[in-house]
Structure 1
Amino acid sequence: MPGVPEQRGRKRKITDDQLCKMDDLLKSEGFEARSLSWQAMAWECGITGLSDRTISRAMGKLYIARKRGERYCNDCIQRREEKDQHDKEIKKVHAWAAVGYNFKSDLVFYEIESNKNSKMTQQAYIGQILEPHVKRWLDRGDYFTLEEDGDSGHGPGKGKNIVKTWKEQHHLQYFFNCHSSPDLAPIENCWQPSKKYHASKA
């Protein structure tokens, strides 16, 4: 009926006034506000007691990274030159390790002088991994099968290569498995915590 407030449906958890406050914050603070989490944005507006999901659903299309006419607005452009240069200057660390039943190897850090991205080469795999580490296990009579992913440095493929020749000469039992699979390649479960730790320390 005209003049009677709507009574149907569930009462809204967030008011129009609160929505307007957060929208005004986005417009006035630009990129700085857009980088906030939903909770942080609400807190900046004096709004408490609401979940991230409630705020994000209520904000809906109000939370826009770039509005009409803002294509070249400085607040909406992320400049990457400094970050890209910073990434180039950071020395990337690459490591190899093996895990097995009741066994774990040392963590072996390696460098590849022939390329900047430290992509494992077959020469480096023999010289820095197989000879100093895997061969030691073979020499002392350990019984194992080396599981590897299909990295080109590990010597996959049907044709002959120096890694495959090394494995045959040293009677190394091995097989290639699906890479990046936590079920088929158990060591993948070990890398994520160490990556997170080193990223937080960088």
Structure 2
Amino acid sequence: MERILEEQDVYGRTMSWEALGYEAGLDVSGRTIERAMGTKDYHRCVACNKTWISQNLAKKRVDWATLMKARYPTKYTWRKVRFSDESHAGHGPQGKLIIIRRKGERYCPKCVQRERDVKEDAKKKVHVWGAAGYDFKSDLTTYDVPSNTTGKMSQSVYIDSILDPIIKPWIQNGHDFIIEEDQVSGHGPTRSKGNIVKE
């Protein structure tokens, strides 16, 4: 069964456990195949649709981690930090493949679905934002971005949906925190004029 999987591309790996057993000439249940393959770290999961990050991006991430470690040297200094991010979930026709792979194969070429094969335009998406930190968890907040269908947050949506109704009351209620964001343009990471989030 391992040899069969190794010969398959990402689409061949979408077979069910029952189909894998059938291809190997076994007359057993899919559950038996799943248990047997599980002993060798194989499982079914969503196919990845991107490859490993570039060396340049990896270096930037290490540099950022080094800077943050210097800025917050102990576990206690991290207690004020609230990590925030957006996520997008689609509902509608399935766009991502469910494949069989083993632990450690996440980004192997036979486990990566090409981006153009994912029919994201056929899905309806829900966009959510949340924050979490030491002894803290915000509610999940849904938001819409009228200017696009990807959910990429604009600065005005960030202000109207997150900063004013959620983060501003934390400040008004005396919370002592640092909000940690990524560098998407909607968060206003640059210092250019006209940056309404920064202002």
Under a length normalisation based on structure 2, what TM-score does the superposition of the two structures give?
0.45
Under a length normalisation based on structure 1, what TM-score does the superposition of the two structures give?
0.44
Higher helix content, 1 or 2: 1
Higher strand content, 1 or 2: 2
Which protein has greater RCO, CA pairs closer than 8 Å, 6+ apart?
2
